[in-house]
Chain A
Amino acid sequence: MNTHPQVLDGTGAEISGLSAPAIGTPRTRVEGRDKVSGKARYAGDIPIERLAHGAVVTATIASGRITAIDPSATLASPGVIGVIDHRNAPRVDPEAGSPFFGPDGQLQLLQDDQIAHGGWPVALVVAETHEQARAGAERLRVSYVEQPHDIAFSPGHPAARPALSAFGPDANKGDLDAELAASAVVVDESYTTPAQHACAMEPHVATAWLEGAVLRGIDSNQAPYGIAAQLATLFGKPLSDVRVQVEQVGGGFGSKTGLGPQLILATMATMLFHRPVRVALTREEVFLATSARPRTDQRVRLGADRDGRLRAIGHEAAFEISGKSEFIENCVEIAKTLYAADAIRTRLNVVPLNILPVASVRAPGTAPGSFALESAMDELAERLDMDPLDLRRRNEPEVGPVSGLPFTSRNFQLCLSEGARQFGWAGRDHRPRRRREGHLLIGTGMAGTSFFTTAFPSSATITAEQDGTFTVAIAAIDIGTGARTALHAIAADALRVGWDRIRLRIGDSAIGPAWQAGGSLGTTSWGWAIVAAARDLLEQLESGPALPVSVTSDTTEEIMSRPHRERHSYSAVFAEVAVDPATGEVRVRRLVGRFAVGRVVNPLMVRSQLTGGMIMGLSIALQEEVVRDEVSGRQVNADFAGYHFAANADVPFIDADFVEDHEPDDPLGMKGPGEIGTVAVAAAIANAVWHATGKRHRELPIRLDRVIED
């Protein structure tokens, strides 16, 4: 498992003619050379003739309405072409939204004078250069009348109501109260997590222009096809008249899965001013005007027999949303599948507030949810005086505990045992505050989790060219994960040819329907479509037709006809921390993660992705939080000096590796490795901090002011 075979150059030229499968071979990314030499082009790098630039003006109040906008100083400013606000913006379709969450008010930019959160875009200033646009934006005078805002989140908020059920109903297995009453040991605690941001390095950038009737867009996003479809609906165009492209994306982490303000505003500007327009959000605007992960408050109740057998799992969570957009931060998901119990009950509520709309951020739902559930499991082990690893071994379900459906492949126990062995867990003294090094308190902790996996319908087109190469086209996107490189390998193996005979085209909505780089499902969904198209193409080539020959295949039918089963990836994470009780500083010394993520297409990329995910988990544990001012209702740490995540110096040696795993219902045996790396880390670190200090941290992040001792 720890063997790291020779890494091949991403161009793959030197392996031409080898018969070894491309899948499973570690390989640097195909665009790696372009990225490190500056040749790779991101959305803001593509030259466009007659390009104009838009600068966003955002609301400085959290609730109220605009009373006046005076553009005179802006229009007199050098290079300014015009100003768009709610009085002259093109009208858009109020029903536009997402298939999961319905109409999305966040897409309704510049449609009225209402302000529902601080940072809401109120105008776009368009000018000849980016600098002139920004200078013009600074001169725009916007007057407001403020109304009282409400950003006070609590699960008992009078406006609290059940979340949408698009991701499945509440669990209601057995009689929770009766099982809790019959339990020898009970844990009943609440856990809170703050709002967090995706923090992709590349800010959101889009360019839009009209080519006849066709609306063209270059946009930094995670879903060219899905975003083209949203854009078409929003502006009332047929999808065939909208085309969204992108070459490279500098990270998304969930924040670029939906249609962003950059592309909506660029589209409005090109419609009004008949020029290609680019809108590049500043870092502050990315914080204030895109989306965030919501705050959560989660009550977890666990009941167990003296030997550690779980009788009851109760997980009731509330999270904040904006009044504009629905979302499901599905914190309670893993409570339905991770452990066996006689009674399992979940509830999920939302609290609408005057905040930035919430959306996917790095393992939505499961990141905060696993912190709560796996902290509670550690508390249960403590009260049972039991090894927390043993507690998790004792409650392995045979079928889905709530659904009753069989698991496709469930290698949670293998993750636990491999991780424990690598970490050196055996022989741990489970009592807290027992290990010291000088003035430092040392502790270890662990947590496990699962992450839902599936594949979504996509289509791919493969052309057998006359020169013996194959052009593989799919509206996929590589947001930095290595998807492009993985799809190369999948195509080479599916077509049974060498790597150098594959020409891959991605990042273009015009190619056809395809799932997004989101939900850890991108490469799995796209890979399936490539396998299907290759299979169909090879069948056609058997009759020796004249080339070129093209085949387009769609996986909708195959995916929908899979049996109903529980499909999840799994992880076990082990952490060692050192805590200085005099200063409250927590430093992570070691992180070991073992992951069951199905078949691994490119071990180099996937190990990188898992390692990166674990660093995100470390940041969630110790640093990340949106801080809002109760008086103004606005975020006060909307930059990278104020919004902290781990710096290199915070990151210890990380050992991330895979266990043998295979998904039987996927033609490639794949499960998504995208987000499973992030989850479980915060709980493992929080549990290690308890082991070091004896103090439970049920509130993230574990800031030094919460740890410091007298």
Chain B
Amino acid sequence: MKEFAYSRATAVHDALTSVVGQENARFLAGGTNLVDLMKRGVETPDRLVDVRALPLDGVHEARNGDLVIGATTTNSDAAAHPEIRRRYPALSQAVLAGASGQLRNMATVAGNLLQRTRCAYFADLSSACNKRVPGSGCAAVAGVHHNHAILGASPACVATSPSDMAVPMMLFDAVVHYETLDGKGEIPISRFYRPVGDTPHLETTLPDGALITSVTLPSAAAGERSRYRKVRERASYAFATVSVAADLVVRSGQVREVRIALGGVASHPWRARIAEEELRGGPATPERFRAAAEAELSAAKPLPHNGYKLRLARNLIQSVLTEIVH
């Protein structure tokens, strides 16, 4: 583990100031991902600025009815919040499907949005990895990629995002709010994660030196019947193989509104807009759900070991939507 400087910020402005001009400084919140990667030498910051003591904790309702989740709110607190459970149940379900109780007590909402892939080659310094060392290659394409991406990947990188929480964030059109020394800004989550392309090391559109201050859930996007379903290789404490967050409103057997987001299939949570478009206004039947899922997945490019994810994602979309109808 490389030696590093550590400081604790008590005001947002201090936190922003302490990373200015330091290319290799990182904000530290729960540390459940960053510290692990530092121990392995994958992350090698010179300076950590601990933002845990900043006044960015807690969930409240804004005047316009949006729900504001402070950046340092723990995953546990977010999952347990009554308004999140009532209006955005898929988010609460997703957070509780992730990690363990101990990790959720440490991990923060902003940190979760930024967690790195669990691709084994990313974590192994002796392997080629374009995400860790740009230009070094990708060991996963020819190697073991059982749990890698089927959508939106590139020859440069086939890693997936491990986040459960980010999947319903994508479903609910969350907005990421940040601050830099130049002022405040916001990014809709649909534009927060960059396409992989040939720059897999560039993961988000967050400006340099920016600190996430909150994530808001628009009141118009609430979905009281929304659901999150995660499939994994054991009943607990494993990353998703494929997960689905979905919300569906049916009137007289017709789909009035539908939203679907997938986890475990791409470098970031994947909004299934093609499937949504296929379903909107049509009959709410399992056959239609399946056909819509297949339309979404027609662009998928599975690798030799992960073709099963196509079937799994299709079946899961069908099954979750069918459950919501019933």
- How many Å lie between the Cα of A263 and that of B67 in the bound state? 57
- How many Å lie between the Cα of A623 and that of B236 in the bound state? 12
Q: Is A623 a contact of B316 with CB atoms below 8 Å?
A: no
Identify the interface centre among A630, A632, A644: most chain B CB within 10 Å of its CB.
A632
B288 at the interface (CB under 8 A from A): no
Encoded as 1 (CB less than 8 Å from any A CB) or 0, chain B from 121 to 144 comes to 100101100000000000100111
Q: Is A627 a contact of B144 with CB atoms below 8 Å?
A: yes
Known: A582-B316, A583-B316, A631-B142. Is A647-B234 also a contact (CB below 8 A)? yes
A111 at the interface (CB under 8 A from B): no
- How many Å lie between the Cα of A645 and that of B236 in the bound state? 10
Encoded as 1 (CB less than 8 Å from any A CB) or 0, chain B from 228 to 239 comes to 000101111111
B194 at the interface (CB under 8 A from A): no
Q: Is A585 a contact of B143 with CB atoms below 8 Å?
A: no
- How many Å lie between the Cα of A536 and that of B52 in the bound state? 68
Q: Please name all residues of chain B whose beta carbon is closer than 8 Å to the beta carbon of A622 when the two chains form the complex.
A: 234
Known: A647-B236, A708-B311. Is A632-B231 also a contact (CB below 8 A)? no
A710 at the interface (CB under 8 A from B): yes
B18 at the interface (CB under 8 A from A): no
- How many Å lie between the Cα of A583 and that of B144 in the bound state? 21
Known: A650-B236, A708-B308. Is A631-B143 also a contact (CB below 8 A)? yes
Encoded as 1 (CB less than 8 Å from any A CB) or 0, chain B from 6 to 43 comes to 00000000000000000000000000000000000100
Q: Please name all residues of chain A whose beta carbon is closer than 8 Å to the beta carbon of B85 when the two chains form the complex.
A: none
- How many Å lie between the Cα of A629 and that of B308 in the bound state? 19
Known: A630-B143, A636-B143, A649-B236. Is A135-B311 also a contact (CB below 8 A)? no
Interface residues on A, range: 35 or more
Q: Binding site of B, secondary structure by majority: helix, strand, loop or mixed?
A: loop
Q: Is B126 a contact of A60 with CB atoms below 8 Å?
A: yes
A632: contacting residue among B1, B139, B308, B315, CB under 8 A: B139
Q: Is B312 a contact of A708 with CB atoms below 8 Å?
A: yes
Q: Please name all residues of chain A whose beta carbon is closer than 8 Å to the beta carbon of B121 when the two chains form the complex.
A: 636
Residue of B nearest to A637 (CB): B120
- How many Å lie between the Cα of A648 and that of B235 in the bound state? 8
A149 at the interface (CB under 8 A from B): no
Q: Is A629 a contact of B139 with CB atoms below 8 Å?
A: yes
B318 at the interface (CB under 8 A from A): yes
Q: Is A642 a contact of B120 with CB atoms below 8 Å?
A: yes
Instruction: State how many angstroms separate the Cβ of A358 from the closest Cβ of chain B.
Output: 21
Q: Binding site of A, secondary structure by majority: helix, strand, loop or mixed?
A: loop
Q: Please name all residues of chain A whose beta carbon is closer than 8 Å to the beta carbon of B41 when the two chains form the complex.
A: 138
- How many Å lie between the Cα of A243 and that of B111 in the bound state? 50
A421 at the interface (CB under 8 A from B): no
A641 at the interface (CB under 8 A from B): yes
Identify the interface centre among B235, B239, B318: most chain A CB within 10 Å of its CB.
B235
Q: Please name all residues of chain B whose beta carbon is closer than 8 Å to the beta carbon of A632 when the two chains form the complex.
A: 127, 139, 143
Which positions 199-258 of chain B face chain A at CB distance < 8 Å? Answer: 231, 233-239, 241
A703 at the interface (CB under 8 A from B): yes
Encoded as 1 (CB less than 8 Å from any B CB) or 0, chain A from 692 to 703 comes to 000000000001
A239 at the interface (CB under 8 A from B): no
- How many Å lie between the Cα of A587 and that of B139 in the bound state? 33
A646 at the interface (CB under 8 A from B): yes
Encoded as 1 (CB less than 8 Å from any A CB) or 0, chain B from 98 to 122 comes to 0000000000000000000010110
- How many Å lie between the Cα of A582 and that of B1 in the bound state? 44
Q: Please name all residues of chain A whose beta carbon is closer than 8 Å to the beta carbon of B142 when the two chains form the complex.
A: 631
Encoded as 1 (CB less than 8 Å from any B CB) or 0, chain A from 677 to 710 comes to 0000000000000000000000000011100101
Q: Please name all residues of chain A whose beta carbon is closer than 8 Å to the beta carbon of B154 when the two chains form the complex.
A: none
A584 at the interface (CB under 8 A from B): yes
- How many Å lie between the Cα of A649 and that of B294 in the bound state? 32
A4 at the interface (CB under 8 A from B): no
Known: A631-B139, A704-B241. Is A583-B231 also a contact (CB below 8 A)? yes
B146 at the interface (CB under 8 A from A): yes
Q: Is B143 a contact of A704 with CB atoms below 8 Å?
A: no
A428 at the interface (CB under 8 A from B): no
A584: contacting residue among B234, B312, B318, CB under 8 A: B312
Known: A138-B41, A629-B143, A644-B238. Is A704-B233 also a contact (CB below 8 A)? yes
- How many Å lie between the Cα of A650 and that of B234 in the bound state? 7
Residue of B nearest to A138 (CB): B41
A562 at the interface (CB under 8 A from B): no
Encoded as 1 (CB less than 8 Å from any B CB) or 0, chain A from 582 to 610 comes to 11110100000000000000000000000
Residue of A nearest to B119 (CB): A636
A567 at the interface (CB under 8 A from B): no
- How many Å lie between the Cα of A631 and that of B142 in the bound state? 7
A50 at the interface (CB under 8 A from B): no
Q: Is B311 a contact of A710 with CB atoms below 8 Å?
A: yes
Q: Please name all residues of chain A whose beta carbon is closer than 8 Å to the beta carbon of B124 when the two chains form the complex.
A: 636
Q: Is B144 a contact of A636 with CB atoms below 8 Å?
A: yes
Encoded as 1 (CB less than 8 Å from any B CB) or 0, chain A from 568 to 586 comes to 0000000000000011110
A392 at the interface (CB under 8 A from B): no
- How many Å lie between the Cα of A636 and that of B143 in the bound state? 9
Q: Please name all residues of chain A whose beta carbon is closer than 8 Å to the beta carbon of B126 when the two chains form the complex.
A: 60
Q: Please name all residues of chain A whose beta carbon is closer than 8 Å to the beta carbon of B143 when the two chains form the complex.
A: 629-632, 636
Instruction: State how many angstroms separate the Cβ of B107 from the closest Cβ of chain A.
Output: 15
B190 at the interface (CB under 8 A from A): no
Identify the interface centre among A646, A648, A708: most chain B CB within 10 Å of its CB.
A708
Residue of A nearest to B319 (CB): A582
A646: contacting residue among B118, B139, B234, B319, CB under 8 A: B234
Q: Is A629 a contact of B319 with CB atoms below 8 Å?
A: no
Which positions 171-227 of chain A face chain B at CB distance < 8 Å? Answer: none
Instruction: State how many angstroms separate the Cβ of B240 from the closest Cβ of chain A.
Output: 11
- How many Å lie between the Cα of A650 and that of B232 in the bound state? 12
Q: Is A439 a contact of B319 with CB atoms below 8 Å?
A: yes
A29 at the interface (CB under 8 A from B): no
Instruction: State how many angstroms separate the Cβ of B230 from the closest Cβ of chain A.
Output: 10
A134 at the interface (CB under 8 A from B): yes
Residue of A nearest to B120 (CB): A636
- How many Å lie between the Cα of A20 and that of B113 in the bound state? 63
A583: contacting residue among B139, B234, B312, CB under 8 A: B312
Instruction: State how many angstroms separate the Cβ of B37 from the closest Cβ of chain A.
Output: 12
Known: A582-B315, A636-B143. Is A134-B237 also a contact (CB below 8 A)? no
Q: Is B308 a contact of A705 with CB atoms below 8 Å?
A: yes
Identify the interface centre among A131, A622, A647, A705: most chain B CB within 10 Å of its CB.
A705
Q: Is A582 a contact of B146 with CB atoms below 8 Å?
A: no
Q: Is A627 a contact of B146 with CB atoms below 8 Å?
A: yes
Q: Is A649 a contact of B235 with CB atoms below 8 Å?
A: yes
Known: A134-B1, A632-B139. Is A705-B234 also a contact (CB below 8 A)? no
A644: contacting residue among B139, B234, B311, B319, CB under 8 A: B234
Q: Please name all residues of chain A whose beta carbon is closer than 8 Å to the beta carbon of B233 when the two chains form the complex.
A: 623, 644, 703-704
- How many Å lie between the Cα of A649 and that of B235 in the bound state? 6
Instruction: State how many angstroms separate the Cβ of B125 from the closest Cβ of chain A.
Output: 9
Q: Is A587 a contact of B235 with CB atoms below 8 Å?
A: yes
Q: Please name all residues of chain B whose beta carbon is closer than 8 Å to the beta carbon of A649 when the two chains form the complex.
A: 234-237
Q: Please name all residues of chain A whose beta carbon is closer than 8 Å to the beta carbon of B118 when the two chains form the complex.
A: 641
Instruction: State how many angstroms separate the Cβ of A697 from the closest Cβ of chain B.
Output: 15
Instruction: State how many angstroms separate the Cβ of B286 from the closest Cβ of chain A.
Output: 11
- How many Å lie between the Cα of A439 and that of B139 in the bound state? 39
Identify the interface centre among A135, A585, A648: most chain B CB within 10 Å of its CB.
A585
Q: Please name all residues of chain B whose beta carbon is closer than 8 Å to the beta carbon of A705 when the two chains form the complex.
A: 146, 241, 308, 312
Residue of B nearest to A587 (CB): B235
Residue of B nearest to A642 (CB): B120
Instruction: State how many angstroms separate the Cβ of B326 from the closest Cβ of chain A.
Output: 10
A135: contacting residue among B1, B239, B241, CB under 8 A: B1
Residue of A nearest to B237 (CB): A647
Q: Please name all residues of chain A whose beta carbon is closer than 8 Å to the beta carbon of B139 when the two chains form the complex.
A: 629, 631-632
Inter-chain pairs besides A584-B312, A644-B238, A649-B235, 8 sampled, C-beta below 8 Å: A583-B231, A583-B316, A629-B139, A629-B143, A630-B143, A645-B234, A647-B234, A648-B236
Closest 5 CB pairs of A and B: A649-B236, A705-B308, A649-B235, A60-B126, A582-B315
A-B contact pairs, 13 of them (CB 8 A): A60-B126, A582-B319, A585-B231, A587-B235, A627-B146, A630-B143, A632-B127, A636-B143, A645-B234, A647-B234, A647-B236, A704-B233, A704-B308
